[in-house]
């Protein structure tokens, strides 16, 4: 009995221990569940704070871009006067030395970012061209007309550029050689006689006549005279300070711009239709005619003036150019036959003189673009709406790309320059469509100048004027004479 009792007691103790263990397990399970619930609730409640913390951490990692260094100058005027009252090379070089290849300024009423490297120019004009629309200051846009080709992007620009290029392409302008040659001979004859003339003004008239020829063909005298008169008023206003005060050159030009292209002149244009049958409006035609004339006149006249100066200053080079042109002259029976298109394509030395004149003078110091969105470039912010100006002059005068850049040396173009280091006519889809016409008229006039005429510059003309394109001081006063015999020419 005692054994059974002991056994019974032992079993009871084991059951009691087992019950205690089960109770402990249940408590632990309840505690675990409770802990899981607390953990879930704490995670749920803390999630917004974790999200905000992550967001804060993410924001802190975002790069904050700053504006390029530089000075904005005076209110509204900015640094316009500093730029146009001195050699642009000095102005831009001073800025570049102080701030680097990218800097900000304020010109012609616009905040601007300037870029002075080939990579930056290519970034704006070619690889990221869609981020920068072509533009001019508002005063210039109003003067030329908002529908002009070089103020636009997209389909309208492509349509207009195709139209303009078709009339200024080599295939189209080759038929103009005889007419341009006649204009060149007539101009040179009018200058000859020994009287002192302003070379730049004379070249402006010649290049304007070529521009009229390329746009309208052969105009009757009264149309040409009226167009020339109206255009001269617009031209003066274009190169003046923009103000609408009555009587100023700018206000007169705005009024005259509306009269520059009258209905009678529109009949000389090809009736253009797009694939939908739409034709250009009169305003669109007028704006683009004015744009072409502006592009064709001052810049080409400036290059022609510099070509004459550089040849005059380097007699050895002049003799070499004469020898090249003499061979063509003699092949045309001593000038009794007209120049041909193929002959203008075979003037390598004269062509290199033109290229070096374009580099040295850098008629177009920069071009205007406008950022259509905020753009980051090399850690700097280019804000939406700011003008962006690749500095062709700085690139053309950089010794890294052109050795001894202040020395006039056409032989440097015997080898092609480095990519994007020589852009006298711009680059990309907005490059000047009339560059082939400009080079053609310079080649033709130079041929007749060196084979039939001689000239001398009056006084020492080492200075440069900016109005706004760089030209030799006082427009390069010079005298011209016609050579009476082939023997005296050489």
Question: How far from 213 is each of 210, 268, 292, 353, CA to CA, in Å?
Answer: 5, 11, 12, 25
Look up residue 228 and give its two tokens. Answer: 């020339």
Nearest CA to 423 out of 93, 95, 120 is that of 120
The whole-angstrom separation of Cα 490 and Cα 130 is 53
The whole-angstrom separation of Cα 468 and Cα 167 is 28
Look up residue 274 and give its two tokens. Answer: 């797009």
The whole-angstrom separation of Cα 204 and Cα 188 is 13
The whole-angstrom separation of Cα 328 and Cα 326 is 5
Q: Give the residue carrying structure tokens 């967001």.
A: 55
First-residue to last-residue Cα distance in the chain: 154
Question: Exposed, middle or buried by CB within 10 Å (0-12, 13-18, 19+), for 62?
Answer: exposed
User: What does R_g of the chain's alpha carbons equal in angstroms?
Assistant: 36
Q: Give the residue carrying structure tokens 């056409």.
A: 410
DSSP 104-130: EEEETTEEEEEE-SHHHHHIIIIITGG
* Residue 27 annotated as lining a ligand binding site: no
Q: In sequence order, what are the residues at sequence separation of 6 or more whose Cβ sits closer than 8 angstroms to the Cβ of residue 194?
A: 479, 480, 481
Which residues sit in the known binding site?
Answer: 432
Which residues sit in the known binding site for heme?
Answer: 432
């Amino acid at each position: 009995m005692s054994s059974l009792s002991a056994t019974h007691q032992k079993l009871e103790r084991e059951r009691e221990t087992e019950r205690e263990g089960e109770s402990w397990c249940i408590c632990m399970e309840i505690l675990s569940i409770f802990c899981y619930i607390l953990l879930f609730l704490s995670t749920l409640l803390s999630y917004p704070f974790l999200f905000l913390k992550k967001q804060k951490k993410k924001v802190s990692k975002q790069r904050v871009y700053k504006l390029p260094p530089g000075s904005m100058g005076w209110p509204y005027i900015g640094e316009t006067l500093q730029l146009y009252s001195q050699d642009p090379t000095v102005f831009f070089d001073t800025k570049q030395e102080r701030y680097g290849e990218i800097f900000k300024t304020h010109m012609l009423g616009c905040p601007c970012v300037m870029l002075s490297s080939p990579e930056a120019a290519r970034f704006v004009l070619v690889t990221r061209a869609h981020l920068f629309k072509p533009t001019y200051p508002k005063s210039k846009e109003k003067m030329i007309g908002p529908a002009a080709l070089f103020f636009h992007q997209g389909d309208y620009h492509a349509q207009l550029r195709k139209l303009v290029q078709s009339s200024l392409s080599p295939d189209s302008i080759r038929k103009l050689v005889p007419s341009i040659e006649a204009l060149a001979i007539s101009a040179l004859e009018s200058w000859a006689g020994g009287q002192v003339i302003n070379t730049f003004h004379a070249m402006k008239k010649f290049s304007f006549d070529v521009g009229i020829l390329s746009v309208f063909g052969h105009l009757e005298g009264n149309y040409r005279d009226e167009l020339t008169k109206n255009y001269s008023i617009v031209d003066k206003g274009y190169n003046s300070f923009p103000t609408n005060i009555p009587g100023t050159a700018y206000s007169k030009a705005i009024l005259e711009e509306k009269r520059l292209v009258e209905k009678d002149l529109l009949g000389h244009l090809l009736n253009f239709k797009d694939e939908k049958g739409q034709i250009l409006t009169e305003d669109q035609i007028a704006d683009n005619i004015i744009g072409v004339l502006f592009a064709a006149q001052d810049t080409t006249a400036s290059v022609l003036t510099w070509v004459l100066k550089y040849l005059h200053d380097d007699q050895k080079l002049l003799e070499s150019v004469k020898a090249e042109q003499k061979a063509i002259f003699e092949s045309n029976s001593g000038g009794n036959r007209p120049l041909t298109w193929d002959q203008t394509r075979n003037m390598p030395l004269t062509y290199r003189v033109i290229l070096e004149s374009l580099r040295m003078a850098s008629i177009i110091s920069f071009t205007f673009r406008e950022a259509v969105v905020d753009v980051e470039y090399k850690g700097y912010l280019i804000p939406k709406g700011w003008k962006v100006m690749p500095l062709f002059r700085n690139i053309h005068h950089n010794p890294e790309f052109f050795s001894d850049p202040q020395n006039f040396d056409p032989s440097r173009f015997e080898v092609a320059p480095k990519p994007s280091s020589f852009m006298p006519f711009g680059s990309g889809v907005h490059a000047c469509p009339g560059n082939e016409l400009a080079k053609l008229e310079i080649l033709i006039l130079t041929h007749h100048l060196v084979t039939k005429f001689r000239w001398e510059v009056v006084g020492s003309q080492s200075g440069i004027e900016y109005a706004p394109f760089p030209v030799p001081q006082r427009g390069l006063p010079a005298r011209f004479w016609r050579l009476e015999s082939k023997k005296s020419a050489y």
